Amino acid sequence: MSKIILITGVSRGLGRVLTESFINLGHTVIGCARSPEPIDLLNQQYGKPHDFQVVNVEDHQSVENWVNHLLKNYPAPDIVINNAAIINPLAPLWEVPPHEFNQVIDVNIKGVANVIRYLVPAMIKRGSGIIINLSSGWGRSTSPQVATYCTSKWAIEGLTQALAQELPPGLAAIPMSPGIIHTDMLEICYGEDAAAFTSPQEWVKKAVPFILGLSPKKNGVPVTVPN
């Protein structure tokens, strides 16, 4: 059965390959990203019934306007994937400039909360839906020089598990670690060594069926995409 799947951060990396794969399987994808050019390209490439908009998830008014637009044109989504996230340049925590720390927190935590704030009421009214918040191995462990990112992803684990306790039957909130994938973000952390890890194109072959197989039984359960 075709599903309506909402994805944030569709312009590149995991968001982009998820978008393409779900569409190729016949699902409807509604997505957002901050950069206008890739959004224009996605709309040109796929068109209706899919819908891609420029949205800054850290700005709650931008998210509210986007969700209002969507709910006028679509039912509440079957699956929400909060994927949009950033990482700051590697540095000990005390050397991370305040603006870099704030932006990671604003995008990675507040951005997820904003999407949930404006979408969950419609999903509750519908009586079903899966909310997947992308976590990380660094949301369940730590490493030096990535304290800000770890902070944001540990927060996502807690936020998601608490949300799971608040949702009514039929809905689920699931923190999902994608594993270690060769993305632009990984290159910031690992440099040239990032190329040794799984590419997004290979990862998505397992990630998509795994996501489509998630059910309300997994509400609040931390999961990891199989290798």
Catalytic residue numbers, as ranges = 149
9: left (phi over 0), alpha (psi -120 to 50) or beta: left
The structure tokens listed for 58 are 């850290």
Q: How far apart are CA 117 and CA 108, in angstroms?
A: 15
How far, CA to CA in Å, does 173 sit from each of 134, 166, 167, 170? 11, 9, 8, 11
Q: How far apart are CA 151 and CA 167, in angstroms?
A: 24
Q: How far is CA 164 from the centre of its chain?
A: 17
Q: What are phi and psi of 203, to 5 degrees?
A: -60, -40
